[in-house]
A and B are shown apart, each in its own frame.
Chain A
Amino acid sequence: MAIPTATETAMMTELPAGGSGQPAAKGRILVLLDGSRVGYVVLDVAAAIAARTGAELQGVFVEEQNLLRSAGYGFAREVGSVSGVSRPLDVTALEQRMQRLAEQSRRALAGAAGHYGARYQLSIARGSVVEEVLALAEPEDLLVLGRARWSTIPAGWLGSTARALLHRSPGRLLLWSHQQPPSHGRVVVFLNEHEEANQRAIAAAAEAAAYSRQPVTLLLAGEAGVAPDALATLKRNLGVPEPDVRVVPLPSSDPATVARVLRGEKASQLVLSRDCSLFREPGAENLLAALHLPVTITP
């Protein structure tokens, strides 16, 4: 639930007309800024997408209410994530830190947008991160975020924010990987029995394939049951030459099998729908976190 923002500031800078040379897209590119190193990498990716699609880049910086409250306790201490050293934590210092991070994020957003020639806007709010992002997000928007905000979170685990947004984001979500995917791999699309969801996944894959000029692999889960004519339509909608499309039936949707097939296909990106059967498998989220490749999750 969104907590009312105390000091909400919105800045907006319009680039000169024709800056991107692209027709304005329907949705925006939402990117969560928090001053972390991962956040800046994701910002760069989001700015590049915004410039490519002509969409507006919407930065979101949330001053976490829970954190501010915890600093209000006299016994509050901060245990260093690397050193393990415990230091006192107070509200004033935390407020100052948040302001500094917000300023850094603003500069980074302006820098990235300027670099790629994208229009951008920054929203700074105070409250719960997930709620604030969901309050801003529209179904047409693309939400870009890393697997975890802080480097303190061990590799291979999804952060709580990413975990929550994965399920609740109204629109498309791009879970970025901090590792470089192979440059000559394939875009892999996970299809299921849900036809509309498949269409959305195919649309996202078509964009990715067109941009990266990579061939596409369609993964058919055993029970997916995609009709041949529907499959033909999906393949057509991909807009990729026939020889560059491969259909691979999956013997099972369990995460280990999927991981093996993805390696076999040298996947450079994975596109799948939120309704996909994979999400019903235990350990699916961990699989997504462990895969070192960008994952696009469509509604």
Chain B
Amino acid sequence: MAVPAALTEDQIYHRCPIEKLDFESTDTLDDLELPVGQERMLRALEFGASMQASGFNLFVLGPAGAGKHELVKRFLSQHAAELPVPADWCHVFNFKLPDKPRAIKVPSGEGRTLKSDMNDLVTELKTAIPATFESEEYQARIQELQEEVAKRQSEGLFEIQEEANRNNIAMLATHAGFTFAPMRNGEVIDPEEYKKFSDDEKELIETKVEELQKKLQQAIQQVPRLRKEVRQRIRELNEEMVQLTLGGPMGELREKWRHVPAVVEHLDAVREDVVEHAEVFQDGESGPPAGLLTRYRVNLLVDNADTRGAPVVYEDLPSHQHLTGQIEHRARQGNLYTDFTLIRPGSLHRANGGYLILDARRILMQPLAWESLKRILFSGEIRIESLERLYGLATTVSQQPEPIPLSVKVVLLGDRMLYYLLSHYDADFLDLFKVEADFEDDLDRDESSYSLYARMLATMARTAGIRPLAKSGVGRLIEHASRLASDQKKLTAHDRVLKDLMSEADHWAGQAGSERIGAEHIQQAIDEREYRASRIRERSLEQIQRGVVMIATAGEQVGQVNGLSVLQLGANRFGQPTRITATARPGKGQVADIEREAKLGGPIHSKAVMILSRFLANRYAPMGQLSLSASLAFEQSYGGVEGDSASVAETCVLLSAITGVPLKQSLAVTGSMNQHGEVQAVGGVNEKIEGFFNVCRQAGDVNGQGALLPASNVEHLMLNEAVRAAVRDGRFSIYPISHIDQAIELMTGLQAGEADSEGVFPEGSFNRLVADRLEAFAKAAEHKDDNGDTDGHGDGDDD
């Protein structure tokens, strides 16, 4: 198999053709209203925002820092601007059920007017009604009424008294009532003298007294009925006066609010209530109690007077209370009081008729908020209830405001994992969030995308309030965006990383006194970032340099190869070589993965070793038994190994151990391999190669070293300047390999050799050596069996 040529500088770095950028500075570029390369997500947003059917709420999924929030808000604001402004909502007192305040919907912007109208009415009530009661007309009428009633009350008594007087009978008031006795000249006749009266006279008097007593009894028993009648007549008079006083202002208000029947209905209820409480208004000195007047006021819950288009609300703390609203209490002398004026709206109220943006992670972290949101979306109305009432923890009487119909589009922002977990575990989720808007992580990099990407960077710079970027700065940033995307044909869409980098570059440009951010400032920002995060990496390199961690970068060695690994620490990652060693001796076709045995290997790594094992058996002992007992280990690795990117290196080192052919230590290897020996792509190639390069550089001059990587990974290369310079000078070579044989040839300098139709490899080839050696192993194993040895009595390394 032909050995691939080493990659050129152009192949390992996709330079940005700055000569094709037709601007000098980003301040001449127009802002980009919508982001580049997010067409799928934008179509989903457009669909979700316009779709009226219930349940078509949106979940915008993408990595943190991708700029989801800003983009969604901007998009929805533009979309919402075209939509009608939703209505205002007010809570008013419910005169029939005082614990259940009514909700009134008024056209947008008219809520304030209603509130002001009702406040004016209250002011009017405070002055006009007491004035009515103080008026001479009222006073005269009430006096007439009282006099009439008093007269009627006493009339009976006085008639009886008069009748008694006419019959010379005295009606005397006692401590507890009245009594009758015969009198003469205004004095009660002495009982002794009375005895001298004739029987006829006595009978006449006593009959009369008895008659008078009965009349008096009847008269007294009439009093409660009379009193009731008085109360009724006073009430009627009060009603009449209040109706007359309120007639004017109420009539005007009714006419003004004719277009909102609910308001008219409320006004009628207010008038009824004022009439009912007319007596309370009579106290001219202290006026009616504030509590009574408060009942006539309006709690303007949602005021859309200043809203343009449909509202777009972002709730940064989506707790149950903040979403659904709450009923506040006022402490008064150690007691808590509430009324309908203390009902506070939630973000769902404010977003009603528009859009509510929420962070999925935050709402899930707030106790019971997620359940509340789902319940509200299902029911289509907002019901303000405290959590303690909702879950039966408190049973005190409180306000239960009338639910408000809800028409809102909820837009959840979250990472992909949350979306998939919610889809899997929450049965309601997909019923309510039917629209998935998936954020692209990367954008395509081609000739046409440069100008758009430059405009995107210009927009970001303007939004962040930093210096404009010079053409060279844009070019360098585009190249770095490819590096961040780990792909020559992609550009990262990660908003935060780009913004942070630009802000840092702006800082360095400022330090350098430059008006624009140039390539050097971008580079400085990249270098400074790398330096700040380099402590661990440098400690690692130091360990290698001092020989504590053994890595050879020159010479040849049997059963030893440089594998490449990537370490992720926080937001930074770096590559470093790892020594992989192998041993081989006759056995029962076992390749022992020491990492797995020691429980330091992950499942993917174990899978890769099994593939490797099957590859060996299939290739070198297709018809016979693979008599091999081999072992593989990542030397000085204590933190665990995962992934299959070392399988090419492991194959090479195992074959070296079998054959005793040394491997070049100047080359590091990365790549995954399938059962047919084909090399497959892996991740983190830039970091891996740069990691090995750094080790080589630190060991002395880089001269003749290199790395092998899967050919399918070449387009992911965006290597740094130091590696590029070494490649340019031919001091460092990067070989793209597509088959294990290419790796063997590069690592050993021998021909790999292809099997003929009978499966025999050519003489002198590396593969022939492997096959011969394995055959020798098989014979040795047979001999061992013939001598009656068993594995159980051996050294046990076949297990």
B172 touches A83 (CB 8 A): no
CB pair A78–B220 under 8 Å, yes or no, is no
Question: In the assembled complex, how far is the CB of residue B460 from the closest CB belonging to chain A, in whole angstroms?
Answer: 72
Given A75-B210, A154-B150, A67–B221 Cβ distance below 8 Å? no
Asked if B452 is an interface residue, CB under 8 A from chain A, the answer is no
B173 touches A263 (CB 8 A): no
Q: Does A84 count as interface, using CB distance less than 8 angstroms?
A: yes
A79 sits at the interface (CB 8 A): yes
Q: How many residues of A contact B (CB 8 A)?
A: 42
Q: Residue A233 at the B interface, CB < 8 A?
A: no
* Complex CA–CA separation, A86 to B172 (angstroms): 14
Is the beta-carbon distance between B181 and A69 smaller than 8 angstroms? yes
B155 CB to closest chain A CB, in angstroms? 9
CA distance A78 to B182 in the complex (A): 14
Contact of A154 with B154 in the complex, beta carbons under 8 Å:
yes
Minimum C-beta distance from A178 to chain B (A): 14
Q: Does A81 contact B (CB under 8 A)?
A: yes
B184 CB to closest chain A CB (Å) equals: 11
Q: Which residues of B contact A182 (CB under 8 A)?
A: 285
- A254 vs chain B, min Cβ distance (A): 14
Asked if A249 is at the interface of the complex by the 8 Å CB criterion, the answer is no
Among A135-143, A145-153, A213-221, the one that faces the other chain is A145-153
Residue of A nearest to B136 (CB): A260
From 64 to 84 in chain A, residues with beta carbon under 8 angstroms from any chain B beta carbon are 64-67, 69-73, 75-84
- Considering only residues 96-150 of chain A, those with a C-beta below 8 Å from chain B are 97, 101, 149-150
B173 touches A70 (CB 8 A): no
Q: How far is the CA of A70 from the CA of B171 in the complex (A)?
A: 10
- Pick the residue among A77, A82, A101, A157 that contacts B175 (CB under 8 A): A101
- B472 to A: closest C-beta gap in Å: 87
The CA-CA distance from A260 to B247 in the complex, in Å, is 27
The reply on B190 being an interface residue by CB < 8 A is yes
| A170: B residues at CB distance < 8 A | none
Residue B38, interface by CB 8 Å: no
Q: Tell me the smallest distance from the CB of A36 to a CB of chain B, in Å.
A: 7
CA distance A65 to B216 in the complex (A): 23
Contact A35 B175 (CB under 8 A): yes
Determine how close the nearest CB of chain B comes to the CB of A175; give it in whole angstroms: 17
Given the known interface contacts A69-B189, A70-B170, A80-B220, the answer about A152 and B179 at a Cβ–Cβ threshold of 8 Å is no
A128 CB to closest chain B CB, in angstroms? Answer: 8
Q: Are B179 and A82 in contact (CB under 8 A)?
A: no
Measured between beta carbons, the chain B residues less than 8 angstroms from A77 are 179-180, 213
Chain B at the A interface: mostly helix, strand, loop or mixed? helix
Q: Which residues of A contact B150 (CB under 8 A)?
A: 154-157
The verdict on B549 contacting chain A, using a C-beta distance below 8 Å, is: no
Which of the 9-residue segments B139-147, B437-445, B483-491, B768-776 touches chain A? B139-147
Asked if B154 and A89 sit within 8 Å, CB to CB, the answer is no
Q: Let me know if A290 and B174 touch, CB within 8 A.
A: no
Are A81 and B181 in contact, with the CB atoms below 8 A? no
A84 contacts which of B136, B147, B221 (Cβ < 8 Å)? B221
Whether the pair B220, A70 counts as a contact (CB closer than 8 A) is no
| Interface bits A19-36 vs B (CB < 8 Å: 1, else 0) | 000000000000000111
For the complex, give the distance between the alpha carbons of A165 and B587 in Å: 141
Contact A73 B154 (CB under 8 A): no
> How far, in whole Å, are A101 and B174 apart by their CA atoms in the complex?
12
Which residue, of B140, B175, B176, has the highest number of chain A Cβ atoms within 10 A? B175
Please give, as numbers and ranges, the residues of chain A lying within 8 Å of B187 by CB-CB distance: 66
Chain B window 157-180, contacts with chain A (Cβ cutoff 8 Å), 1 for yes, 0 for no: 100000000000010111111111
B765 partner residues in chain A, CB cutoff 8 A: none
Q: In the complex, what distance in Å separates the CA atom of A66 from the CA atom of B210? A: 19
Q: In angstroms, how far is the closest chain A Cβ from the Cβ of B55?
A: 68
- Is the pair A73, B153 in contact by a Cβ cutoff of 8 Å? no
**Cα distance A290–B157 when bound, in Å?**
18
Q: Do residues B147 and A81 form an inter-chain contact, with CB atoms below 8 A? A: no
* Chain B contacts with A in 191-211, Cβ cutoff 8 A: 191, 194, 206, 209-210
Q: Which residue of B lies closest to A74 (CB)?
A: B191
- Residues 126-153 of chain B: 1 if any A CB is under 8 Å from the residue's CB, otherwise 0? 0000000000100110010011001101
User: Which of B179, B217, B220, B285 counts the most A-chain CB atoms under 10 A from its CB?
Assistant: B179
CA distance A70 to B187 in the complex (A): 10
**Cβ A84 vs Cβ B220 within 8 A:** yes
User: Quick check: is A259 within 8 A (CB to CB) of the other chain?
Assistant: yes
Question: Which of A77, A78, A79 has the most C-beta atoms of chain B within 10 angstroms of its own C-beta?
Answer: A79
Distance (whole angstroms) from the CB of B160 to the closest CB of chain A: 10
Name the residue of chain B whose CB is nearest to the CB of A153: B173
Partner of B172, one of A70, A80, A81, A155: A70
Report the minimal beta-carbon distance from A89 to chain B, rounded to whole angstroms: 5
In the complex the two chains form, what is the Cα distance from A69 to B193 in whole Å?
A: 11
Contacts of B182 on A, CB cut-off 8 Å? 73
Q: Are A156 and B147 in contact (CB under 8 A)?
A: yes
- Residues of chain A within 8 A (CB-CB) of B379 are none
B450 CB, nearest partner CB in chain A, Å: 87
Pick the 9 closest A-B CB pairs, nearest first.
A70-B181, A72-B191, A84-B220, A154-B154, A69-B188, A156-B150, A66-B188, A84-B217, A81-B177
The 13 sampled A-B contact pairs (Cβ below 8 Å) are: A67-B188, A71-B179, A72-B190, A73-B182, A75-B209, A77-B213, A78-B177, A78-B179, A79-B220, A81-B177, A84-B220, A101-B175, A149-B173
